[in-house]
Amino acid sequence: MRAIQAGRAGGPDVLEPADLPEPTPGPGEVLVRTAAAGVNFIDTYRRGGAYPMPFPHIPGSEGAGTVTAVGDGVTDVAVGDPVAWADSPDSYAELVRVKAARAIPVPEGVGLDVAAALPLQGLTAHYLATSTYPVQAGDTILVHAGAGGVGLLLTQLATARGARVITTVSTAEKEQLSRAAGAAEVIRYDLLKDLTGELPGLVRELAGGGLPVVYDGVGRSTFDASLACLRPRGLMVLFGASSGPVPPFDLQRLNAGGSLYVTRPTLGHYIATTEELRGRAGELFAAVQAGTLQVRIGARFPLAEARGAHEALEGRATTGKVILELG
């Protein structure tokens, strides 16, 4: 079986193609022949040793493909079914074992490449917009990294709910992509001399005051500015750390800023049950089928070039979703 292994903690150069034994599904599991695997920042954190991981290991936790075998006790997934997944380990591989309860049915008309690109970022955007802070019609909100995979999807979901979305991006190309997704205003933070000092004023001018919520997946470089964009009792949603983790800070800053709230959500707590996982995914796939949600696959790499995929992702050289294809 073709796969990618990280032999030790380190940079993208630790990723190497490997020929490994084929897995077999255990009770309650299905075996899937992978069509495409999603590449995510969490994969780079695990590869780099930021999160405890055994080495060697096969990176990846997201993908889509066709079921080739089912284990004992599986009744709701059958051989030949197209499925996707968001939280199954060892996904940079030709064959992946997926718990049947975590398999997401892929509806007719949705390609397996799109199905592989949507789960992690799409489910994240969905819970952010519907649960962490339920976006309401008339809200003005800020989404950092508006041309990233989550940013593009979150912008579309929020505008569909009647919100006015302000985004931040770093290039002219990314500004165009963010506007195409529905952003009403786009701020080029690469043109700012002092992001922390300048961004809050720009946002408040565009919004006519402070915001009810800021969605920040960037982390260290944007956190202080994000807090300063909020109105009293506003919510800071820190859902990622692509620029690095936010250092410890004095909680009294929340008091001084206007009784602010900060939350650090993670996807697993919003798809803990099969019902919630498939419910959220079903709404996303229905929107794709209806043409109201566009999934941008910004870069495609063959499985053997996983190293290049990680380099592109960490180098901020991509927009939308990065996937590995196993044709």
Residues above pLDDT 90, as percent of the chain: 94
CATH level 3 topology of 2-118+296-325: Quinone Oxidoreductase; Chain A, domain 1 (3.90.180)
Confidence of residue 118 (pLDDT cuts 50, 70, 90): very high
Residue 306 in this model has a pLDDT that exceeds 90:
yes
Binned at pLDDT 50, 70 and 90, residue 294 comes out as very high
Judge residue 208's burial from the number of C-beta atoms within 10 Å of its C-beta, 0-12 exposed, 13-18 middle, 19 or more buried.
exposed
Segment 273-282, tens digit of pLDDT: 999 999 999 9
What is the third-level CATH fold of 121-267? Rossmann fold (3.40.50)
- pLDDT over threshold 80, residue 327: no
The pLDDT value given to residue 243:
87
Residues facing residue 302 across a β-bridge? 325
**Which residues have CB under 8 Å from 289's CB, separation 6+?**
107, 109, 110
List CB contacts of 157: < 8 A, sequence separation 6 or more.
125, 126, 129, 130, 135, 293
Q: Which two tokens stand for residue 232?
A: 């009293």
Structure confidence at residue 242 (pLDDT): 84
Q: Tell me: pLDDT of 27 over 90.
A: yes
Domain boundaries, the chain: 2-118+296-325, 121-267
Question: pLDDT tens across 167-191, in order?
Answer: 999 999 999 999 999 999 999 999 9
Q: Whole-number mean pLDDT of the chain?
A: 96
Q: Give the orientation angle of helix 149-160 with respect to helix 119-127, to 10 degrees.
A: 40
Taking CA atoms, 172 is separated from 17, 39, 175, 188, in Å, by 36, 24, 5, 8
Does 121-267 match 2-118+296-325 at the fold level?
Answer: no
Which tokens sit at 253? 């800053």
pLDDT at position 318 over 90: no
**What is the rounded average pLDDT of the residues 17-24?**
98
pLDDT at 319: 86
What's the pLDDT at 95?
A: 98
- Give the predicted TM-score (pTM) of the model: 0.94
DSSP string, 212-275: EEEEESS-TTTHHHHHHTEEEEEEEEE---TT-PPPP--THHHHHTTS-EEE---GGGGS-SHH
Distance CA 291, CA 294 (A): 7
For residue 167, report the phi and psi dihedrals to the nearest 5 degrees.
-125, 165
Report percent pLDDT > 70 for the chain.
100
Q: If you average pLDDT over residues 317-326, what whole number do you get?
A: 92
285: pLDDT confidence band, cut at 50, 70 and 90? very high
Q: What is the DSSP letter of 129?
A: I
Measured CA to CA, the distance from residue 188 to residue 209 in angstroms comes to 20
The number of CA neighbours under 13 Å toward the Cβ of 261 is 14
How much is the pLDDT for 317?
A: 81
